[in-house]
Structure formats: C-alpha cells, structure tokens
Amino acid sequence: MKFGKEFTSQMVPEWQEAYMDYNYLKGVLKDISCFKKKNAPLPEVAATPKGSLKRRISMYRAFSGLQSRFSFKDSPGRADNEDEEVILVSSLQQEGSQGHNQTMFLMSSEQGGEYEMVFFRRLDDEFNKVITFYKKKVGEVKDEADELSKQMDALIALRIMVDKPSIGMRSDQVMMDDDTTSSPGLVVPTHIRSPGGAHMEAIQEVEMTGEEILEEESTSKEKKNLMRFRPAPIEILDNVKINIDPATPISTLKNVIRTSKANVKFSKDELKKAEEQMKKAFVEFYKKLRLLKSYRLLNVLAFSKIMKKYDKTTSRKASKSYSDMVDKSDLGNSDEVNKLIERVEVTFVKHFANGNRRKGMKHLRPQAKRETHRVTFFMGLFFGCSIALVAAIVVAVRAQHLLEHKDRDKYMNNIFPLYSLFGYIVLHMLMYGANVYYWKRFRVNYPFIFGFKQGTELGYRQVFLLASGVSVLALAASLFHLDMDMDPKTGSYETVIELIPLVLVFVLLLITFCPLNILYRSSRFFFLRTAWHCLCAPLYKVTLPDFILADQLTSQVQAIRSLQFYVCYYIWGNFKTRSNTCQDSNVYKILYIVVAIIPFWSRFIQCLRRLFEEKDSMQGLNSLKYFSTIVALVMRTLYDQKRGTFWKVMAASTSGITTIANTYWDLVIDWGLLQRNSKNPWLRDKLLVPHKIVYFVAIVLDIILRLVWMQLVLDFQELPHLHKKAFIAIVACLEILRRGLWNFFRLENEHLNNVGKYRASKSIPLPFNYDEDKSM
C-alpha cells in the first residue's frame, strides 16, 4: 500500500482536516516533476556555475542580517555543507500569537524555482497548522489531567469515608515537610486492602512531580523527597458534591423530588457509581491520549516522507534540514503525552484493577475483534440456503395452485401476518448491515457515534450472518407451514405445525435475552438497554443511541402490530382452525392504535426532555413533528376502522401535514441537505460520497417513499390480484428501506458535525463537583 493511502486510512476521522495535506503536497511535487521534464536544459547550459549559488547565499545573508526576527547562526535547518544548502528554516515570533515556522528557499532564481517556493510555502502552512492543533490538544489533555487528579483526591477521601471511616484523619494531624509541594500532572494514588478484602486498610497518595520521578537521581535521599506518602485528607469532601446522574427511573423521580444534596450522607452505592464513572473517564481519557500520540507520530512520518519525495523529485538534499527542524519542534520532541499515558496506566492499574496490570490494560486497550473466515463461510451458506428456500416456496405455491385455493384468504389473514414479522426484522437487519459496510467504506466513525464499547461493535459480516440465520429459520418454517388443507377427520389443522411461528418467536426472544457470552452478548445487551431507555422515556437521560433506536422503531409499526396479533391469535383465537374474532373487539382496536404510537410517543417525550435540559428550540419543533405523526396515525387507523367522509378528510389532512413536515426534516435537518448557498448547490459544503448524484437520488427516493405511505393512508385503489395483507406488508417494507437510506445520511451528517468540532472522544461526566468558594 502506498503511503498516501496508508496515511489516510490511519487518520483519526474527526481530525482529518488537522492532518498534513499529503496529497496536495504530492500534487505540487508532481507539477515540479512535469515542469522539469518539459524544460530539461541542454547539456552545455545545464551546469550551474559554482559561484552563483555562493553569491545568492551571500546576498541573502547580507539582507537577512538586517531583520532582527531571523537568526540563522544556529538555525536547525542549516545544512552542514554550504555547497548543498537549499533551505533555511527559522521560527518566527509574532506578538500575541505563538511562534510558527518559515522556510526560505535559496534557489528561487533557478528556472522553475517558483514551483518549489510554492511547495515550501504550503509545507510551512501545513506544519504550522499541525503544530498549532497539537499544542492546543496537549493543553486540553493537561487540563483534563489536572481535573482527573482532583477527582481522584475526592474519590480517595470518599473511599476512606465509606469503607472505613475510622481510619480517616484530619489533615492537620498529618506531619509533612514544609518543602513538600504537589506539582501538576496526574496524581497516582495507591491503596492496600486487607487479605479478606472487607475493608480498606490504608489509602495513600503518591505525588508525581513530573519528569524527575521518571529519571534517575543522584542519591536515594533525593528520590525519597520526591515521592511523599500522606493519607488523603477527609476535609476534601466538605468542598465536594456528588454529581451522579440517575441511573434508574426510580432514582430519577427521587432526584426530581429532592432538590438539594447538601445533607446527603455518602453511601456505598454512591461510591460504587463514582468509581464506575471515574473508570469510564480514565478509559476515555486514555483513548484520547493514544489518539493524540498517533496523530503526532503519523504527521512526523508524513513530513519525513514528503521531504524525501521532494529530494527524489528535485535531486536536492533538503530533507535532513527540514526533518531536523521537525524533530526539534514540539511535534517531534514533545514527550508530555507519553508521560501522561504512563501515569494513567499506573493510576488505573493500582486503583481500578487491584494492581493487576493485565486486567487493567485489558480495560484501557480492548482488543479489536478479529475477522474470521468462519463468519464469512456461514454467512454465505445461510444466504445460499435462503435463496434456495425462496425458490422452493415459489415452486410449491405454483405447483399446488395455492393462489387460487379456497382457503387463501384464511391463510393470508391468519398465517401471513405471523411470518411477515420475521420478514420485517430480516429486512431491517440487511439494511443496517449495508449501512455498516458503507459507513466503513466512507470512514464514518459509527462505533464512536453510537457509543459502542471498543472492540464489541458488529461489522457488516456479523450483521449479515445474523440476518441470514433468522432468514433461514423463518423461510424453512414458512415452507413447512405452507399447507391450506384441513384434516378431514378432525376438521382442524395439525397442532404442531400451527405452533411453529410461536416457537420461532420464543427462540428469537431466548437468543436475545440469553445471559451467556455467546452470539454477540455485548451487542445484544446494548440493544436491550437502549430499547429499555426508549420505553422508559423520559426517565433516562436521552443519548444518541436512544433516539436513533426510537426512530428505527417508528418504521416498524407493522412489526409491532404483528406481535399484538400473535397474542390475539394464540390466546383469544382458535389457531387449530385458523380463525379468530378478537380483531372485532373494541379492546383490540384500541390496543391496535396504542401499540402503533408507542415509538412515536417515545420520540415525542425524548424531544421534550432534551428541550428542557438543553434549552434547544429545535427539539421543541421536533416534538411537534412527532406529535403530528401521532395524530395522523390515529386518524388513519380510525378511518380504517370506521370509514366515512369525515374520517377520510381528517386522515388525509393530518397525513398530508405530517408527510410534508417529516420530509422537510429528513432532508434539511437530519441530512443537512438542500442548502442553496453551499459549495455544492442544494447539498452541503462537505460530502463523503464523491458522486453528488447519489444525494439527489436519495432526496427523490425519500420523497417518493414518503408518498407511498400516503398511498396507504388515502386508501387508493390497490394492485389487482394482490391481497390487502400483502399490500400492507409491501408498504411496510418500503418504509424500512426508506429508514435504511435515512440511516446512512443521518450518521454521515452527524459524523461531519463531529469532524467540524474535532470531537473524537466522548465527554464523560465526572462524579464530583468542587465548591470553589469553600475551597479557596
């Protein structure tokens, strides 16, 4: 793989604009190469007089000596051999800003020298951009390290207070030398537990004093003075308030009722939650440090590669001078991030892994999942079996003339809705797998956006494997169930066959809720936890996975109604004769409306909570959009049940309003498209897909698929020879396809927003708030 592609593939997606523009610089070198080939000098004039270079250098030195801002005496960019001196690199200091690099090209008078001047000018711009971004990020992680140090002080004091209050002692009882001072950086505390682990015997704090601790000192006495052990003062808790977000609906309600935490007694439950939050904060901080380290090393390598390419293209020797400057700069010579990484590792292992380094590093550096050929093999096998089963079903229907059978309506009204549930699930999984494939292809950081634990996210092969597995089970069951003839002796259908769909549902539920670490348990539990947050809205804080899943469920209304039909058919109906009357009851009709509006109601409540928490007026408008959808859905269902001109007008008007509102929101707000004044007319400034036609096709498809839903609402003439249940299933499948299309562009827009703000790591809420007034 060429370095350019490798460089792009290893970039932090959210920081890609802050990296050196390697491809542009390579293009400039290509222009230089083309110019030299077109203007190759004749042999007799190709040689440059030896004195001309010295004259240019001497003239340049005489002139530059008048400018106080340059100092070339000890310039790191100066070559040892004057005859080979090509560039001079200096660091400029400007008032009110940081110093930046400037390179002087000494051979600009040569033919084509302007191209090389452009190259070095752009090279300096890229270097200054990179080092400015790096310094900014280093400053941010330093501030975060200081904050984590304060949080660890509070956590240690809380552990003393909760685990064994009797060992707590006031700070004035601790004898310390006057010259003992704490320095910035991560505090590395240590604690020793008793063999039984029941209580904490001692909690002590090691004050790290920067590089001196890591370096060898002249005497052992000086080493002891640098590392002081002292019990953590309990008085820290006097200036600290616990800041733990409610984790359950009950705790949320208690938090609403209890307005003050001033007199709350610290408990083991609060200690446990505080430790969990600190653990997450350290893991995320460590991830950020590793990203920053990778950013530094990758850019240093890129500057080295582009300068070697310059030397090769121009036959000069300038790479060493520039590489020396890069190595001596903060980008190449800074060791602050490495030291923070070491300190985080030590702190995490001692405090959150009981000194077990392997266990601690497993949390800090989770291993990425390895792709196995077994997954690909079974995925292909199941897809092949699914195609064969579909063909077998078509042949069976044709051979037995089931479309003209007298019991066709009975089968479509009672059996078809049972199996259509699995069709909706499989189709949605296939669309998600396709989305994952294209997200990875266009470098959309979907694991970070969704908040998946590193190393547990499913790739598109795993998603397709699960979808094809469910498909094989459902198609095999439906083929076995493809029987419309009753037993003439009993006047009913065979019980075992009629129970196949119910057994299949129980199997899927058993797999989903299985507590064993099989079949991607982490992903299953993530899905269940997120679904529970959606059902319990607004009692949980709304995160992006919560409202994304709720949006997915709004496209699965028919699947939710199919689950309701399972209860109706197998409990109140007579499944042995394939008949039921519960659909005519008023209770069923009411529940038919209620279960359909649950996902829309969940999104409505989520928007309201975000409106009150974030004070964002757009969330209020979004809640109105979902409320209008609820009204339209209720009107449509009432019209379907009662008929009449009044209900038809109400259904058509409300559905028209919500269709227009939802379409506009999809295209403009969720996708960020239809911007007239953007660089890409009617799209947006930044696009990941290189072909703009894809976005226009997606816009048209979204509008058409929204109107297909209107087709069902307005109850236009259906296709001939197509059963009503089949028509409803087709419309439901088209809505799932629209949602799959929506998913890709919705996450693309979210990814670009993160890129615009350079957000490559999550912001973890810290458990303690310091009262600055009391601490001063």
- pLDDT (tens digit per residue) in 739-759: 999 999 999 999 998 887 778
pLDDT bucket at 50, cuts 50 / 70 / 90: very low
Q: How many CB atoms lie within 10 A of CB 333?
A: 10
Show the DSSP H helices in 536-673 as ranges. Answer: 544-554, 557-567, 586-614, 617-642, 645-664
Please, what's the b/e burial string for 527-539 (b: 16 or more CB within 10 A of its CB; e: otherwise)? eeebbebbeebbb
pLDDT value at 211 more than 50: no
pLDDT bucket at 665, cuts 50 / 70 / 90: very high
713 by Cβ neighbours in 10 Å (0-12 / 13-18 / 19+) ranks as buried
Mean pLDDT across the chain? 79
The residues near 720 (Cβ < 8 Å, ≥ 6 apart) are none
Instruction: Report residue 641 as tokens.
Output: 């049940």
pLDDT value at 376 more than 60: yes
Instruction: Report residue 557 as tokens.
Output: 């209304």
In whole angstroms, give the CA distance from residue 537 to residue 554. Answer: 15
pLDDT value at 203 more than 60: no
Task: Assign 3-class secondary structure to 639-668.
Answer: HHHHCCHHHHHHHHHHHHHHHHHHHHHHHH
Compute CA distances 194 → 163, 357, 682, 756, whole Å: 12, 19, 67, 50
In whole angstroms, give the CA distance from residue 419 to residue 408. Answer: 15
- What residue has token string 């309506």? 409
Higher-confidence residue of 69 and 683: namely 683
Lowest mean pLDDT among 423-427, 571-575, 685-689: 571-575
In whole angstroms, give the CA distance from residue 103 to residue 296. Answer: 21
pLDDT cut 70: percent of the chain above it: 76
Q: Which of 352-366, 636-650, 732-746 has the highest mean pLDDT?
A: 732-746
Contact status, residue 353 vs residue 117, Cβ threshold 8 Å: no
pLDDT bucket at 735, cuts 50 / 70 / 90: very high
Contact status, residue 14 vs residue 759, Cβ threshold 8 Å: yes
5 by Cβ neighbours in 10 Å (0-12 / 13-18 / 19+) ranks as exposed
Of 770, 753, 774, 754, the residue nearest 762 (C-alpha): 754
Contact status, residue 25 vs residue 306, Cβ threshold 8 Å: yes
Mean pLDDT calculated for residue range 561-585: 86
SS3 content of the chain, % helix, strand, coil (to 5): 65, 5, 30
Contact status, residue 622 vs residue 547, Cβ threshold 8 Å: no
Instruction: Report residue 125 as tokens.
Output: 């711009």
Of 285, 251, 250, the residue nearest 270 (C-alpha): 251
- What residue has token string 């390290």? 145
pLDDT value at 775 more than 60: no
The residues near 363 (Cβ < 8 Å, ≥ 6 apart) are 279, 283, 348, 352, 353
Mean pLDDT calculated for residue range 475-484: 90
pLDDT value at 139 more than 50: yes
Would you state the pLDDT for residue 244? 66
Mean pLDDT calculated for residue range 130-139: 92
Q: How many CB atoms lie within 10 A of CB 82?
A: 10
Domain extents in the chain? 378-483+496-756
Of 115, 118, 111, 117, the residue nearest 40 (C-alpha): 111
Three-state DSSP at 102 gives strand
In whole angstroms, give the CA distance from residue 739 to residue 747. Answer: 12
Would you state the pLDDT for residue 396? 92
pLDDT value at 505 more than 90: yes
288 by Cβ neighbours in 10 Å (0-12 / 13-18 / 19+) ranks as buried
Torsion over CA of 635, 637, 640 and 642, rounded to 10 degrees? -70
Mean pLDDT calculated for residue range 572-579: 84
Would you state the pLDDT for residue 462? 94
Of 498, 597, 495, the residue nearest 554 (C-alpha): 597
